[in-house]
Chain A
Amino acid sequence: MKRQRLTPYLLLLPGLFPIVAFMSLVVGMAVSQSIGYFNFAGDDRFSLEFWEGMLSQNQFWRVFWYSARIAILSSLISVMLAYPVALWLRRPFPGSDLISAMIKAPLLVHGLVAAFLFVNFISFQGFLNVALVKLGLIDRPIRMQNDSYAIGVVILQVWKNMPLAFLVITGSVRAIGDDILDAARDLGAGSLARLRRVILPLTLRALQAALILIFIGAAGDWSFQVVAGPTNIQSMAQFMHRVQSDNAAHGWNEAAVVAVMLMALSLFGSLTLAGLMQLIVRRMGR
């Protein structure tokens, strides 16, 4: 009897233990390096100097808010694009399978490849420039690569993450029974009222999940920023990597501060966004 109760936990060990050990060690490493332990240069001692040094840097805060902005924009735009499409494809019709397959296609394209395709597309002699010139809209090619507003990065994020949002939202939209929507209609709810009072509340969890996933991915982005991002500012991940490799003496410690702040941004930023979404949906449902 006793052994039987223990069995599931023993079975959990091989899968769960590596995950828990790895994650706690890695996060623990980042946290302790940020406060002066596991020092590769000099003695281990508790110190808040890296935190003070980093948090007083203007550049750090520019990077922080830049990543936050990209994450908010990317997750909101992806979800806003995916939602109506998921609603449209709720009931199958001739061609709907093809469209969902097309929407999901970017999931199979590696981030770096996506970044390359995009840069190649908008580059000085990429398709877009050539097309615009041939159409007579512009006289000669314009420089669109690495634009300083990070429009390119957001486009890439949306391109890559909209399918993810679509996948998450589609599941919950399809789970709403026809009867439920018919009932709402029968009781006098027009299409807007059905959206506000039935569909949105019932898909709120999926909306939040999509927002959280995309926010975290975009906040920690490195590849898109490095390949297609503005050259005058860095993302949190890029900044962390640069600080770690450039600042020889205390690079690790300073990078650790950035890492902890990035984790905090991912966690609290995504949760705040999800909370706001809940508030809006509740308010609209009233």
Chain B
Amino acid sequence: MTTLSRSTLFWQRQLLILLALAVFFVALVLPFCMAVLWSLVDPSTPWAYPAVLPPVLSLRRWVEIWTTSALPQAMYNSYTLAACVSILTLLLAMPTAYAFGRMEFPGKAVAQMLTLVPLILPGFVSAIFFSALLIELGLYSRFLGILIGHTVGLLPYAIRLLSVSFSMVRQDLIDAARDLGASRMVVFRTAYLPVLKPGLLAALIIVFILSIEEFAISYIVGAPDFTTVPTILYSYLGYNFIRPNAAAVSLILVVPNVLLMLIAERLLKSADPAVMTGKG
């Protein structure tokens, strides 16, 4: 009897796993395959109903997008911006994260709540009225405007990630190092750095990705002069829907970010002390 119910449980589980795989395939794998196909449609022979597969495949669309559209410029913009944003954000977040991760003080909980406010403000409200603020202040540099907007918007993520990293630094290691007469620099190198490094790198990558992906501020403040990858993608999705172009830009937007995110996740896992000591 017990063996029977065990095996039914097993088959139920197998069935559910299969169902999950099927949903995943339909909801994610298939649409992405379609996007890849669409980006490979040869411009000379369109893919139209009732053809199930595109008649001619080529990389000409990719070459065309690269040479004729503003995509290279947008990528340059996006990546330079993201690099600046992530470094600036991390520099600003570090002291605050240190205070949250390693200090107790009155009002800490309130301060932590306050840092999360940007996450609950609707993106387009902050984008539109931030642009109003920029007009009011007479700040007309698109780059600088978006840099400020992204930095503030992504500070909560960096502070949160780094607070965790700082709190994982073990006080007994710091004490031991100081007890053995280590200088501030040595204490930092031996007690802080090994724990902080993965967290810092992960925060850097995550802020970088989020900055590349940010759309509301980039679009409202930047358009039409300053293009980023998401705003280019939007231009292909809006009134003039150019499907092969949208497919190509989609892939350019998603693939590098997924790879970066996997690295960040690996880093965060390696920083987890539970993993390091083998305790579950």
Direct contact of A and B (CB under 8 A): yes
Whether A108 contacts B258 by the Cβ 8 Å rule is yes
State the Cβ distance, A185 to closest chain B Cβ, in Å: 16
Nearest neighbor of A267 in chain B, beta-carbon distance: B120
Per the 8 Å Cβ criterion, residues 115-149 of A in contact with B are: 115-121, 123-127, 129-130, 133-134, 141
With contacts A112-B230, A120-B247, A259-B129 taken as known, whether A222 is within 8 angstroms of B124 at the C-beta atoms is yes
Inter-chain CB contacts under 8 Å: number: 214
Whether B49 contacts A259 by the Cβ 8 Å rule is no
Interface size, A (range): 35 or more
State the Cβ distance, B156 to closest chain A Cβ, in Å: 7
**Given the complex, which residues of B lie within 8 Å of A212, measured CB to CB?**
120
The interface residues of chain A, by DSSP majority, are classed as: helix
**Given the complex, which residues of A lie within 8 Å of B169, measured CB to CB?**
none
Whether A30 contacts B27 by the Cβ 8 Å rule is no
Whether A23 contacts B233 by the Cβ 8 Å rule is no
Q: Which of A4-12, A186-194, A277-285 contacts B (4 or more CB under 8 A)?
A: A4-12
Partner of B237, one of A18, A27, A227: A227
Whether B35 contacts A266 by the Cβ 8 Å rule is no
Nearest neighbor of B162 in chain A, beta-carbon distance: A15
Interface size, B (range): 35 or more
Q: 20 A-B Cβ contacts within 8 A?
A: A8-B105, A12-B96, A19-B115, A19-B152, A22-B118, A22-B130, A29-B130, A99-B17, A102-B21, A105-B24, A112-B237, A113-B254, A117-B32, A120-B243, A121-B30, A127-B31, A219-B122, A226-B237, A237-B123, A237-B125
Interface residues of A (CB under 8 A from B): 5, 7-16, 18-20, 22-23, 25-27, 29-30, 33, 38, 40, 88, 93, 95, 99, 102-103, 105-106, 108-113, 115-121, 123-127, 129-130, 133-134, 141, 159, 212-213, 216, 219-220, 222-223, 226-227, 236-237, 240-241, 244, 252, 255-256, 259, 262-263, 266
